[in-house]
Amino acid sequence: MRSLALLLILVNLIFFIYPKNHKISAETQTTTCFKIGPYKDLNQLKQIENQFNNQKVKIEQTQQLISTWIYLPPFKNRKAAIRAKYKLKQKGIDHFMIITTGKFKYAISLGFFSQTKYINRRIKELKAKGFHNFKQQERYKTNYWLTVKLPSEESLKNIKHVLCYEK
């Protein structure tokens, strides 16, 4: 909430610095965009967007991969899953568990990973040991960004150094 309050102050400051009656001809107009974020709460950002009832402030969203779940898909029954478990152990594969409830009942979880190097290492290990039927479930989170568009860079010279800037 504090960061949103600061953001609000900053956006107000930008519009305050920029003279209201200032006009720029189409030939000389450039656009400076500040992309501020990421934020997780869309509702909070909408509150800010609503305060600027024009096109200068917009919300954008991006998807970010946060983790990948690697698993062997559900086996027919508990017996088949246990058989697969022994096969994994026999081949020297460690760190797994049989899921016994829910939609993935009798699947075998082979790990949750956030970093590509660990995902690749696990996949390489599985393939090398003859397990090719594994599945990957990629998990994403939505990030929201507040894009503030201004018609000129001139008014922003003094604050450029503290913000992510793209033209």
Q: Which is nearer to another protein, 67 or 152 (CB)?
A: 67
| DSSP state, residue 20 | T
Binding positions for another protein, 84-143, rule CB under 8 A: 95-104, 109, 111-115, 118, 139, 141
Binding positions for another protein, 48-77, rule CB under 8 A: 66-67
For tokens 């953001």, name the residue. Answer: 7
Minimal distance in Å, beta carbon 37 to another protein?
14
Q: Which is nearer to another protein, 38 or 151 (CB)?
A: 38
73/129 Cα distance (integer angstroms): 17
CA triplet 133, 139, 40: central angle to 5 degrees? 180
Site map for another protein, 3-42, x if CB under 8 A?
Answer: -------------------------------------x--
Q: Which is nearer to another protein, 101 or 133 (CB)?
A: 101
**Helix intervals (H) in 18-166:** 42-51, 78-90, 116-128
List Cβ neighbours of 162 (8 Å cut-off, separation of 6 or more): none
